[in-house]
Amino acid sequence: MAAERGAIPFSPSPPSTLGVELEFQLLDAGSYNLVPMAREVLAQVPEASQGRVAPEFLQSILEIRSGICSGVGEVAADLLATIELVEGLPALEHGLLFGASLHPFACPEDQVLGFGERYWRIMKELQYVGRQFICQGLHIHLGMRDGETAIRVCDTIQPYLPVLLALSCSSPFFRGDDTGFHSYRTKLFEALPLAGITGFHGSWSGFEQELAMLREYQVISEPRDLWWDVRPSPTFGTVEIRICDLPLRFSQMLGLVALAQALAAGLAEQLVVHRPVSHQILSCNKWQAARHGLAGRFVDPLGLVGSGAMSMVRAARQMIAVLEPQLRRLGSRLYIDALEPLFTDGTGAGRQRQLVASGLNFHEMIAQLHGEFWL
């Protein structure tokens, strides 16, 4: 009876289907500071597109969502159409959407909380920690045929999430300071309860039992209260990857989506053994990605990309090589080419530091990066 009370139905999705969510900053076009205009923007979104644009934790953040897509090309067309629609709304006449995971000089104290009872309840609990949370990310939903496959992918993808993070890093500055991190968003996010690395579930029933326990003790009220780096989404029938920063270029975002899709497909096909991994290895890999980006060190405990320690760059290149069959089968190999400049020129975090080192102030840096988003 206890198992029945804790049962969570999983709505199957066609394998390898995609859904992508981009969290954009809303900036004033003059000052380039965050501005709480989400309510005004959302009020002008046509009814037919309202499912594609959503509010976020703060009113200076706007989420743009794709629908259910069969491939990366469909994701690109879907997101592009919604971004163009939003940018053309009258509410954004003196504003702009900006793609990076942390605003370089905005003050958390100046931000306006999003609307809705859930956000007020969360902020009441988080207090000062929550007020620091002014970061944005890239979320990727990957269709799964059943709950057991979803849990196998969630369990075995965790060691490789730092590689995706290292490729996406775009949050080196916070409150006007260089944090020393390539992804300081990661460290802000880890201050939140129920965020970051999750445990090994082993099976769908193991996931159900954990959620039943968390609900029994009133730790959570629903699965979306779990802000893990990767989590099953039973209602959507997906695995949701949440670890990535938002890349500075749309093409690089598509490359990451292609790599994540192929990685999930490979793990669903059992390219590695489904077994627990040391939490210390998971934590150290994630630290290396957040602190050093692609210059970090990576350890592969399951052997997908090699044995022992290696550079994050080597791990990423090996991952692409190993997943070549999946990339070609899914028709997404061409999108991986956009990731190649990251290995030679650096990530979005490095690009921001490069522009500041060249003499640009933060306002000029944002203007430059905004112009590069579609390159």
Instruction: Tell me the C-alpha distance between 107 and 101, whole Å.
Output: 15
Buried-state track 100-122, b at ≥16 Cβ within 10 A, e below 16: bbbbbbbebeebeebeeeebeeb
Cβ burial, residue 337 (10 Å; 0-12/13-18/19+)? exposed
**Average pLDDT over all residues of the chain:** 94
Q: Residue 238 forms beta bridges with which residues?
A: 143, 233
Residue 2 has pLDDT above 60, yes or no: no
Using an 8 Å Cβ cutoff, are 198 and 111 in contact? no
Report the pLDDT averaged over residues 177-191: 94
Q: How many CB atoms lie within 10 A of CB 270?
A: 11
Cβ burial, residue 51 (10 Å; 0-12/13-18/19+)? exposed
Most confident of 6-20, 132-146, 222-236, 280-294: 280-294
Q: pLDDT tens, 296-317? A: 999 999 999 999 899 999 999 9
Report the pLDDT averaged over residues 266-292: 97
Using an 8 Å Cβ cutoff, are 264 and 116 in contact? no
Domain with 340, as residue range(s), is 2-372
Q: pLDDT tens, 29-88? A: 999 999 999 999 999 999 999 999 999 888 999 999 999 999 999 999 999 999 999 999
| Residues with Cβ within 8 Å of residue 127, at least 6 apart in sequence | none
Q: What is the CATH number of the domain that holds 108?
A: 3.30.590.20
> How far apart are the two ends of the chain, measured CA to CA in Å?
56
Instruction: Tell me the C-alpha distance between 370 and 39, whole Å.
Output: 22
Report the pLDDT averaged over residues 191-211: 92
Nearest alpha carbon to residue 249 among 157, 111, 348 = 348
If one counts the domains in the chain, the total is 1
Q: pLDDT tens, 209-227? A: 999 999 999 988 888 889 9
Global confidence as pTM: 0.95
Q: What is the DSSP letter of 111?
A: -
Nearest alpha carbon to residue 264 among 242, 283, 245, 241 = 241
